[in-house]
Amino acid sequence: MRRSGSPSPVTDFPSGVGEEARAKPPCQAPVLRQAQHEGLQAHAPRPTDLARAAARPKPQGETKPHHPNGPHPEPVEGRGPGTTKKRAFSETATANACKGAGNPPGITVIGAGVAGLCTAVTLAERGAAVTLHERSESLGGAAASWLAGGMLPPFCEAESADASIVAPGLAAIDWWESRVPGVMRNGTLVVASSRDAGEIARFGRRTSGAQPLDAEGIEALEPDLAGRFRQGLHFAAEAHLDPRRALTALAERFERLGGTIRFGSDVTPEAVGGDVVIDCRGIAANAPSLRSVRGEMLILRSDEIRLSRPVRLLHPRMPVYVVPRAGGLFMVGATMIESEASGGPTLRAAVELMNAAYALHPAFAEAEVIDMKAGRRPAFPDNLPRVTRGGRIVSVNGLFRHGFLLAPDCAEKAAERVFGPRTREEIAA
C-alpha cells in the first residue's frame, strides 16, 4: 500500500453527459425500516407521503441496464401485467414541475452520507418530493463521512488542492450554520515542532488567509499549548462541526421538509423508482475510475487538555490534525493510504496517530481511546468531485477528503441538473 498523493487542482465539476430524453424505469418499493439512532425519530409514513404514494403510478415492468456515465439503452416501462409501453422521460418537464408548472417530481436519493443528505435537503428545500435510501440499518452505518473530522477549512485545504475550493468552501460554512447547530467559527491553528519549522513556511506559501503567530500568539489562542510551539498560523475564517451530530440534525431537517428516509434499503439507481435518481453511494457505486483512499482515525477522551479549534500538526511525512468535540472528546486523524482494504485500523496507523497526539500535548498519553476506525474515501484519479447526469440518473461522487467542505456545492450542482439554475427570485428569497 502506498500513501495517497496530493489532490490535483479543483475545477468546476463536469457537466452531465447523455442528457437526452429517457424513459422512466419501473418502481421498486423497498421495505421501510425504522430508524433509532442518537435522537433520530422513527420514520413512520406521514399522511402526505401516503397520499403522494397513492397518487403516483406503480409501474412493474423491467428496465435494461443503465450506466450513469455512458450510453444508455431506452428503458421499458410496464403499465400493468404483460404490458411494455414506452414512456419518454423529459428533463424539461421535470424542471417545469419543480418550478411549479406541474406536480412535484418524485426524486430518489441513494446513500445517506454527507453527499446524499446535503443533496436530499437541497432538493427538498426546492420543493421536490424526495425519498432517501440508505443500505445501513441506521444513520452513519456505512458512510465515510461518519468518521470525518468535521473540519470546514477552505484555506488550509488549498495547501494540497487548487485555490478554487476556497469560495465554495467558505459558502459551505454558511450553509451548515444555517441548517444545523454546533458550527464553531473559531478558525484553525497550524503548528509544527522546532525541527519541522520549515513546514510552517511552506504551508504559509501555499495558502492564504492566515495570520502568522509566535509563541505568545499561540498561547493566546490555545493556553494549553503554551510553551510547546514557537510559531504557527491562524486561519481565523475557518470552522468545524461534529460530523455525527451534524448528519443527525440534517436528517431530521430533511424529514421536517417532508422527506422520507428508508434504512436497510440496498437499492441500485437502475432498479429503484423515481422521476430522477441521485446516486450518492460513494465507493459502493463502483463507478469506473473511482478508487478507494483509506483513512484511519481515533477518538480520544481527556479532561487534561482543552482546545477551542482544530489544530494541525505539520510533519513532512504524516501531518495530522486534532479536532475538539464536546464532552472532552478529540478526533485524531487521518491517514491517507491507497487501498481497497475495508478492515479496521492497522497497528502502524494507530501508533502514528497516538504518537502525533502525544507530540501535540503529553496529556494525551493518559487519554482514553473511545473509538478507532478506518473508512474508505471515494476519489477519482484527479481527486476532484464529479456531478454528472445520464438520462434520469444523476451521479454525485469522488468527494475525497473534502466531504463536508464541498458537499453543499455538489448538492446545488445536482439540483441544477434537476431544476435548472436558480432564478433571481429564488436566489433573493
* 295 and 220, same domain (yes or no): yes
- CA torsion 100-104-107-113 (nearest 10°) is 70
Q: What's the pLDDT at 328? A: 98
* 131 and 209, same domain (yes or no): no
pLDDT band at 78; cut points 50, 70, 90:
very low
**Rounded Cα distance, 143 and 291, in Å:** 15
pLDDT band at 179; cut points 50, 70, 90:
very high
Q: Is residue 13 part of a domain?
A: yes
Q: Is residue 118 part of a domain?
A: yes
CB 218 within 8 A of CB 188: no
- Residue of 388 and 84 predicted with greater confidence: 388
Give me the mean pLDDT over the 12-26 stretch.
Answer: 35
Other CB atoms within 10 A of residue 382 CB: 15
* 216 and 71, same domain (yes or no): no
Q: Is residue 158 part of a domain?
A: no
Q: Which of 341, 360, 379 is the last residue of a domain?
A: 379
**Rounded Cα distance, 86 and 75, in Å:** 7
* 329 and 404, same domain (yes or no): no
Q: Is residue 171 part of a domain?
A: no
* 32 and 88, same domain (yes or no): yes
How many alpha carbons lie under 13 Å from residue 161 in its C-beta half-sphere?
A: 25
Q: Of the candidates 414, 425, 426, which has an alpha carbon nearest to the alpha carbon of residue 107?
A: 414
- Helix or strand or coil: residue 88? strand
* 67 and 213, same domain (yes or no): no
Average model confidence (pLDDT) across the chain: 81
What CATH number has the domain bearing residue 32? 3.40.50.720
- C-alpha pair distances (Å), 267 with each of 29, 78, 271: 9, 20, 7
Which of 67-81, 103-117, 361-375 comes out lowest in average pLDDT?
67-81
Residue 116 grid coordinates:
446524499
* 328 and 304, same domain (yes or no): yes
Enumerate residues 6+ apart whose C-beta is below 8 A from 337. 1, 2, 3, 4, 293, 294, 295, 296, 349
**Rounded Cα distance, 117 and 123, in Å:** 10
**Rounded Cα distance, 26 and 77, in Å:** 6
What CATH number has the domain bearing residue 356? 3.30.9.10
**Percent of the chain whose predicted confidence (pLDDT) is above 90:** 66
Residue 123 grid coordinates:
432538493
Give me the mean pLDDT over the 260-284 stretch.
Answer: 95
* 347 and 201, same domain (yes or no): yes
Counting DSSP H helices and E strands in the chain, the numbers are 11, 20
- Helices 243-256 and 114-125 pack at an angle, to 10 degrees, of 30
Give me the mean pLDDT over the 93-114 stretch.
Answer: 71
* 249 and 105, same domain (yes or no): yes
* 258 and 329, same domain (yes or no): no
Q: Is the pLDDT of residue 267 over 50?
A: yes
Other CB atoms within 10 A of residue 412 CB: 20
Counted domains in the chain: 2
Q: Which of 346, 363, 379 is the last residue of a domain?
A: 379
pLDDT digits (tens, 9 = 90+) for 209-248: 999 999 999 999 999 999 999 999 999 999 999 999 999 9
Q: Of the candidates 125, 142, 133, 89, which has an alpha carbon nearest to the alpha carbon of residue 109?
A: 133
pLDDT band at 427; cut points 50, 70, 90:
low
- Residue of 337 and 247 predicted with greater confidence: 247
Q: Is residue 177 part of a domain?
A: no
Q: Which of 364, 379, 394 is the last residue of a domain?
A: 379
Which of 79-93, 160-174, 210-224 comes out lowest in average pLDDT?
79-93
* 224 and 300, same domain (yes or no): yes
* 328 and 262, same domain (yes or no): no
Q: What's the pLDDT at 426? A: 64
Q: Is residue 178 part of a domain?
A: no
Q: What's the pLDDT at 421? A: 81
Domain that residue 320 falls in: 188-236+291-379
Q: Is residue 166 part of a domain?
A: no
pLDDT band at 424; cut points 50, 70, 90:
low
Q: Is residue 369 part of a domain?
A: yes
Q: Of the candidates 153, 147, 159, which has an alpha carbon nearest to the alpha carbon of residue 114?
A: 147
Q: Of the candidates 307, 357, 311, 306, which has an alpha carbon nearest to the alpha carbon of residue 188?
A: 311
Q: Of the candidates 24, 330, 295, which has an alpha carbon nearest to the alpha carbon of residue 143?
A: 295
Q: Is the pLDDT of residue 302 over 90?
A: yes
